[in-house]
Amino acid sequence: MMRLDKTLSAWSTPGFADVFKQEVARLDADDLPLQQGLSNSNSVADGPVTVMIHRVAEMEDMIQVQAGIFYQGIISGCNCSDDPSLVNEVNEYCEVLFVIDKSTAATTVALVAYLDE
């Protein structure tokens, strides 16, 4: 389980949003549900992520942060000798919910799924 110690330390300060964004941007891509959030490609590209906070809510023992993640995905070709598009990167976006335990900084993250209307 990941821990967002710096984010928890910054809770209730003016710098909370910036600390959260920086700490999440430094996470390993495997710690985030980016693969499940792909909509235009078939795998997550190595590279930076950009974080945008949508909503923050405080509960008695936890902090919930709903955030948007911008990142790159890869459309890989079939690797045939006549395939001119072996690897193409495309922009991807997904929304995730972070739940931070206020006593330990232990954090869970899950993809926010939207139902088509």
pLDDT tens, 25-36?
A: 999 988 999 999
Between vectors from CA 29 to CA 77 and to CA 8, what angle results, nearest 5°?
A: 160
Name which of 73, 13, 66, 65 is nearest 49 in CA terms: 73
Stated as kind and residue range, the H or E segment containing 17 is: helix 16-25
The count of structural domains within the chain is 1
Is 71 part of a structural domain of the chain?
A: yes
Is 12 part of a structural domain of the chain?
A: yes
The per-residue pLDDT for range 28-84, each reduced to its tens digit, is: 988 999 999 999 898 999 989 999 999 999 999 999 999 999 999 998 765 555 555
pLDDT attached to residue 18: 98
pLDDT attached to residue 116: 54
pLDDT attached to residue 95: 96
pLDDT exceeds cutoff 90 at 3: yes
pLDDT attached to residue 8: 98
Which domain covers residue 93, as residue numbers? Answer: 2-111
Is 48 part of a structural domain of the chain?
A: yes
Whole-angstrom distance, CA of residue 31 vs CA of residue 106: 13
pLDDT category at 117 given cuts 50, 70, 90 is very low
Is 117 part of a structural domain of the chain?
A: no
Is 116 part of a structural domain of the chain?
A: no
Say if residues 18 and 47 touch (Cβ distance below 8 Å). no
